[in-house]
Amino acid sequence: MKNNHSIKRQTANTVTRLVLLSLIFTLAAGCGSPSPNAAVPSSTQPPSPANTAAPSPAQPVTPTTVATATLANVEATSLPSNILTGQHPFTSQSGNRHSLLFLPSNYGKDPAQKWPLILFLHGSGTSSSNTDTLLFEALPQILGFTPDFPFIVLSPQLTGKPGDEYWFQDKVEESVFSLLNEATAAYAVDTTRIYLTGVSIGGNGVWEYGLSHPERFAALVPVMGFVGDTTGFHVPADICDLKDKPIWAFHGAIDTIVPLEAEQSLVDALKACNGNIQFTVYPDGDHDISGKVYQDQELYAWMLAQSLK
């Protein structure tokens, strides 16, 4: 466990920053619930839902003007000789997986400081070969106008058209963890405080990666998550392997794409084996709750309180 005074101090700083963040959200349009008339690049428009139990991609969050600014391409080898803070493209040299990498504004000012890292898995609506489309997701969008966000954030991207790749595929999983390994080696990451979160099919990735790599993550935050495929949703037989892992799951009660029962069943199974899990359900939430989730400062304070032993 990390030094308790250090964690409490960083948690207090986080809450202060995120209170300010909440004020910013009240002024920034479109972060929580995108306008139905918002312009979305044709390449990221989700296809019509198929008549199966598989989830369709979430509608992208409407980006702000700041968040959609053109990003400079930076290779993994750019740091530490030339630190670029903020959010920028980052490409794995071994797994050839594109991503966005966010570094806080004061990253590197204290050479001894280690930073917590959030690994964010997007929904299928932003699958693309262009990392700019990731800015339609709530968390990367928030980072576009929150330069002092107190985490490093790594957001890998599925390539091709929506549905061409999924997080649970072996080749994708291998490349994502190669990317994570390169980022933790290249940057000042506190490897005891790496947190995994994702939305929709990214929420599915959280459950899948949590089960396959529990030793890598201090906590899991699935949003609109599930386990299953086109044959339907289910509870994996080894779900109780996660009973000691801190988990905070989120879902909308009226989600018609990934129904509440898909994640409720996972939560109930973990509670049955005394799992360390909490579940937030938005009574009026559909398949577009990510803006509410990622602007909640309590989530980040909770994350910082979790660490690997």
- The string of DSSP letters for 49-71 reads PPSSSSPPPPPPPPPPTTTTSPP
Answer yes or no: is pLDDT of 23 > 80. Answer: no
Would you mind telling me the total number of residues written for the chain in this entry?
309
Answer yes or no: is pLDDT of 66 > 50. Answer: no
What residue ranges define each of the domains in the chain, with the CATH number in brackets? 4-16+88-226+286-304 (3.40.50.1820)
Between 163 and 189, the more confident residue is 189
Q: How confident is the model at residue 308 (pLDDT cuts 50, 70, 90)?
A: very high
The structure tokens listed for 52 are 């199966």
What pLDDT shows up at residue 55? Answer: 36
CB environment 248-269: b (16+ within 10 A), e (fewer): bbbbbeebebbbbebbebbbeb
Answer yes or no: is pLDDT of 34 > 80. Answer: no
Strands 98-103 and 86-91: antiparallel
Mean pLDDT of the chain: 80
Contact between residue 270 and residue 240 where contact means Cβ atoms under 8 Å apart: yes
Task: Name which of 27-31, 149-153, 238-242, 289-293 the model is least confident about.
Answer: 27-31
Answer yes or no: is pLDDT of 77 > 50. Answer: no
Q: How confident is the model at residue 230 (pLDDT cuts 50, 70, 90)?
A: low
Answer yes or no: is pLDDT of 78 > 70. Answer: no
Task: Name which of 4-13, 48-57, 181-190, 296-305 the model is least confident about.
Answer: 48-57
Residue among 92, 88, 98 nearest 127 (CA): 98
Tell me the whole-structure pTM to 2 decimals.
0.76
CA dihedral 237, 241, 246, 250 (to 10 degrees): -10
Q: How confident is the model at residue 160 (pLDDT cuts 50, 70, 90)?
A: confident
Between the CA of residue 189 and those of 7, 128, 183, 294, 305, what are the distances in Å?
A: 15, 27, 8, 21, 16
What pLDDT shows up at residue 82? Answer: 66
Residue among 198, 196, 104, 115 nearest 146 (CA): 104
